[in-house]
A = this chain, B = another copy of it.
């Protein structure tokens, strides 16, 4: 009954639902309709998304916020701590670092890597910074599964290569280039400049306002 064919987009939306569920009372009752209203989506889509991962609600009663939250977290693998390596401890890296620290998230940045000698050996926002050549050793020893690349574009691919060599499982690339990795490593290019580049298109062709609060 669970997990036959999961829409590639369903998982990412679960994390969205999660964010809302974290902000409301644990014991609160909530229906797919109310959740949809709050998030600007449709009730059917929420129920369908949830159905890919299991059955979490009670007919005629809806969902209980805290319980649903737990179950989604479990489905996404967020019921344990995920150590992270940060490659490139510049402005962007530190901005993301702040975000991850401030939330009581399940992600912990365990090591930073940077070529800048002024940073190596220091702690930045509580994170020890190493030279990239130490990556394989540290990532293996600390069993770090996820790497975030916040290096400049020129260094992105070599950062990815190093992470792969180090045995990383997944890579999130925030630099404005795409990186290519072997298929046994999960990678995601989170590219905000390309998001910016399409905005003019939507503004110029603003007849396209069929679906309202979208993204």
Contacts and interface: CB of A to CB of B under 8 A. Distances in A.
Interface of A: 3, 11-12, 14-16, 18-19, 39-40, 75-78, 82, 90-92, 94-96, 98-100, 103, 105, 107, 145-146, 148, 169-170, 172, 174, 176-178, 180-181, 183-184, 186-206, 209, 212-215
A107 B199 CA distance: 11
B91 A94 contact: yes
Contact of A194 (B15, B90, B94, B176): B15
Contacts of A145: 203
B201 A188 contact: no
A70 to B, nearest CB: 15
B196 A183 contact: no
Given A91-B98, A146-B203, A190-B192, A181 B77 contact: no
Contacts of A202: 11, 170, 186
A96 B192 contact: yes
Nearest to A16: B194
A11 to B, nearest CB: 5
Instruction: Count identical subunits in the complex.
Output: 2
A93 to B, nearest CB: 8
A77 B203 CA distance: 9
Contacts of A107: 196
A213 B187 contact: yes
Given A12-B194, A82-B200, 11 more contacts: A11-B202, A12-B195, A15-B197, A15-B198, A39-B178, A92-B96, A99-B176, A103-B193, A170-B202, A183-B209, A188-B215
Contacts of A103: 176, 193
B11 A178 contact: no
A98 B94 CA distance: 14
A189 B18 CA distance: 16
A192 B204 contact: no
Nearest to A189: B215
Contacts of A100: 193, 196
A77 B180 CA distance: 29
